Chain A
């Protein structure tokens, strides 16, 4: 029973364009969301997060949007660069719950030259 779903296993985007990665969740108790980026043979690195009191958080080229009513979040990367090619994991947690986060299965992003 997947609580965090990333329905697109892979995505290809032209360099310079916008990359949009999507994530859905089922647990309405989740109130904190994170995105991680992972290169092959390396551990995931934290990218950006958002709490449920916000609907948008921006950090440079990366913006995360949260739609609580739809239980949906998305990560926008503008403009996409070759170094953005990686696997992106969406994750969620409950602030008042245990200190663990639930990860989605990941989306592999390919930035095309």
Chain B
């Protein structure tokens, strides 16, 4: 069974704080992804990574950065949290390569920035 875990289910932070969201997968997947989900906007890709030390911008990378120091771990960083970053954050992982498009998601972190 694929397991994707996220460090927190709920998080409340203040405007301007630096926020770290951690994601760990145990299936040796090469690909990892960070999304945010907002009502009426669906799932939007923030960043993704094909391998350790590698990162690619998704559709909405502004205000975020990521770190992938180990294959199993992908961190999302909000350098200076703002209220418009209040959202549900979802991490996912998948195998690399043709035909391996099924992504496995973590339970999500609901972040509130006040």
Contact = CB atoms under 8 A, between A and B. Distances in A.
Say whether A and B bind each other.
yes
Interface of A: 6, 9, 32, 34, 41-46, 49, 89, 93, 95-96, 98-101, 103-106
Given A41-B107, A43-B106, A43-B107, A101 B42 contact: no
Nearest to A32: B101
B43 A103 contact: yes
A106 B4 CA distance: 22
Given A89-B42, A104-B42, A43 B90 contact: yes
Contacts of B75: none
Q: Mostly helix, strand, loop or mixed at chain A's interface?
A: loop
B50 interface: yes
Contacts of A96: 98
Contacts of A32: 99, 101
B74 interface: no
